[in-house]
């Protein structure tokens, strides 16, 4: 195997390369890659985590936007790494899953596009077994937050609608080169076999959640008044004077389904 990849991190790609071996081993232990896994790494970077994934799985796919990394990664890992030089936001991940197979998606996601990538993958959840991502700690806390928590919001609800979310552990800035200005964390997302709540119209559900949190300091009575009346909320057993972060996913589903029934 060739020498480790060297590359100057590029700000435009949001590159912060993980180099701390202790953290890498901890991630590897959380994922436990094995030869039967169909692993896809988003943004392999210098190949630090890629090395561990290949040691466990034998061969993996990776999506890398920076074309200057393709040749050195290929030189280092050869046929054990199948590279796709493209944008993860536009990539059809399910194209890598054979009949009956499900993918394990792993990546250190650039902070500036992490949420769009997550929603892109939620759309393709049917072919995904689980996902392990390095994200900004604040984003991980938002995804995994429970109702009543200050971090709880639209991202929490939609992520938890699609997946079981587990905040695994914190990663300090010193583990990267260059060190980012924010702390990071590892999250595990496991798509539900069936949605966590019954929703009659997914678009309506998304609209209700988006509208509720458009002014999160206001009460439901005010934020949802164009969609549903305070009297109707009371009939559903929901206090219209509560703020959006106090409402459960189940209650948002109730609101959405009530609106759908009226249409």
Domain ranges of the chain: 11-191, 202-262
pLDDT at 110: 83
- Per CATH, 11-191 and 202-262 having the same topology is answered no
In the CATH scheme, what architecture does the domain 11-191 have?
3-Layer(aba) Sandwich (3.40)
pLDDT at 183: 93
pLDDT at 14: 45
Digit-coded pLDDT (tens) for 168-185: 999 999 998 888 888 999
Length, in residues, of the chain:
263
Q: What's the CA gap between 71 and 75, in Å, rounded?
A: 6
Q: What's the CA gap between 127 and 69, in Å, rounded?
A: 27
pLDDT at 181: 87
Q: Mean of the pLDDT values across residues 228-246? A: 97
Q: What's the CA gap between 44 and 35, in Å, rounded?
A: 19
Q: Which CATH number fits domain 202-262: 1.10.630.10, 1.10.8.100, 3.40.50.10190, 3.30.420.10?
A: 1.10.8.100
Q: Mean of the pLDDT values across residues 160-171? A: 96
pLDDT exceeds cutoff 60 at 120: yes
Digit-coded pLDDT (tens) for 239-254: 999 999 999 999 999 9
Pair of tokens at residue 218: 């206001």
Contact 96, 88 (CB under 8 A): no
Contact 182, 109 (CB under 8 A): no
């Amino acid at each position: 195997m060739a020498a480790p990849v060297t590359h100057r991190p590029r700000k435009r790609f949001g590159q912060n390369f993980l180099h701390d071996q202790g953290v890498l081993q901890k991630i590897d232990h959380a994922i436990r890659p094995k030869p039967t896994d169909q692993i896809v790494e988003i943004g392999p970077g210098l190949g630090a985590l890629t090395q561990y994934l290949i040691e466990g799985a034998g061969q993996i796919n990776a999506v890398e936007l920076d074309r200057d990394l393709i040749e050195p990664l290929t030189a280092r890992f050869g046929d054990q790494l199948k590279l796709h030089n493209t944008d993860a936001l536009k990539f059809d991940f399910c194209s890598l899953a054979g009949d009956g197979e499900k993918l394990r998606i792993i990546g250190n996601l650039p902070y500036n596009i992490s949420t769009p990538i997550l929603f892109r993958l939620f759309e393709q959840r049917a072919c995904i077994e689980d996902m392990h991502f390095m994200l900004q700690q604040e984003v991980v806390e938002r995804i995994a937050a429970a109702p009543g928590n200050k971090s709880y919001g639209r991202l929490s609800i939609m992520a938890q609608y699609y997946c079981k979310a587990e905040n695994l552990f914190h990663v300090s800035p010193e583990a990267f080169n260059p060190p980012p200005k924010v702390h990071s964390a590892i999250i595990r997302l496991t798509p539900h076999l069936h949605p966590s709540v019954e929703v009659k119209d997914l678009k309506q559900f998304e609209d209700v959640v988006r509208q509720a949190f458009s002014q999160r300091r206001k009460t439901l009575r005010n934020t949802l008044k164009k969609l549903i009346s305070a009297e109707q909320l009371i009939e559903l057993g929901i206090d219209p004077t509560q703020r959006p972060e106090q409402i459960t996913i189940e209650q948002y589903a109730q609101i959405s389904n009530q609106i759908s029934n009226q249409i």
